């Protein structure tokens, strides 16, 4: 699977993983796109916007409460575990578009959540922020200040947290190898991260069952799932 670049991989000191919904889908978390992108006949991509939230916060929160329950009961798969295990052999940083915390559950210690976290909740008006794992009895839930709470996630049309994004660029610029796993690379600006890595002459490996926007730019494109592929990457470092 990795034979064509096996010798180059063995010299790698720092790996950056860019992960997307595909790796979490293998843990039973639906994606926004395709047949999984419908919830009660609503288009999930249209619910994940600030306009949808203000138009109907109760509806959006009902959707997020179901997502939270699903995510909190999900377990890391072999792809997540493989990335965490790689920390034994090499410096590993994860730049994830996912909001589910499964990389941390698997034991990864350097995770930048580009799109926020479904565990974190913030007020739409005041500075309140907290990690809340329990169910909300009211929909929409209200802050102590009386205003509506929202998930601390980046919705379509919103900007990424700039401190997280700037740190992500630094890691992308510094890595020897970037593995793009389970993402179609259509969401900006996360889809520019491989470009930063390439400017540093890093190797680029794509792990995805289907072609993506940048497949032709990859040093190696593996048409398989993360759970099937990433454990085999670890074996190359164990051999060193």
115 carries an active-site annotation: yes
User: Sign of torsion, CA 233 164 154 62?
Assistant: positive
Q: What is the dihedral of CA 209, 215, 216, 221, to 10 degrees?
A: -50
Closest CA to 219 of 170, 177, 187: 177
Taking a C-beta distance cutoff of 8 angstroms, is the pair 22, 209 a contact?
A: yes
CA 80 to chain centre: 11
Which of helix, strand or coil describes residue 127?
A: coil
Q: What are the tokens at 8?
A: 């180059």
Choosing from 80, 103, 115, 171, the catalytic residue is 115
Q: What are the tokens at 107?
A: 């034991």
CA atoms lying within 13 Å on the CB side of residue 33 = 9
Q: What is the dihedral of CA 211, 70, 234, 91, to 10 degrees?
A: 100
Among all chains, which residue has been given the structure tokens 């799932």?
225
SS (H, E, C) 37-59: HEECCEEHHHHCEHHHHHHCHHH
Which of helix, strand or coil describes residue 15?
A: strand
**Dist CA 76 CA 124 (whole Å):** 31
Q: Which residues are catalytic?
A: 115
């Amino acid at each position: 699977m990795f034979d064509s670049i096996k010798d180059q991989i063995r010299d790698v000191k720092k790996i950056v993983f860019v992960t997307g919904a595909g790796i979490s889908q293998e843990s039973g978390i639906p994606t926004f796109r395709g047949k999984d992108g419908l919830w009660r006949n609503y288009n999930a991509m249209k619910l994940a916007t600030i306009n949808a939230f203000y138009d109907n916060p109760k509806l959006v929160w009902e959707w997020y409460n179901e997502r939270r329950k699903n995510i909190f009961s999900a377990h890391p798969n072999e792809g997540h575990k493989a990335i965490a295990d790689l920390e034994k052999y090499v410096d590993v940083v994860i730049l994830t578009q996912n909001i589910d915390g499964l990389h941390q559950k698997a034991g990864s210690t350097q995770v930048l959540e580009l799109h926020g976290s479904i565990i974190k909740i913030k007020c739409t008006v005041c500075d309140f922020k907290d990690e809340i794992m329990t169910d909300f009895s009211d929909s929409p839930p209200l802050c102590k200040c009386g205003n509506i709470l929202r998930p601390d996630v980046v919705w379509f049309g919103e900007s990424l947290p700039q401190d997280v994004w700037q740190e992500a660029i630094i890691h992308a610029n510094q890595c020897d190898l970037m593995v793009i796993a389970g993402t179609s690379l259509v969401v900006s600006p996360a889809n520019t991260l491989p470009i930063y890595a390439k400017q540093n002459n890093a190797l680029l490996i794509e792990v995805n069952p289907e072609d993506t926007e940048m497949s032709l730019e990859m040093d190696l494109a593996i048409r398989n799932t993360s759970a099937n592929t990433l454990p085999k990457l670890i074996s190359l470092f164990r051999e060193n």
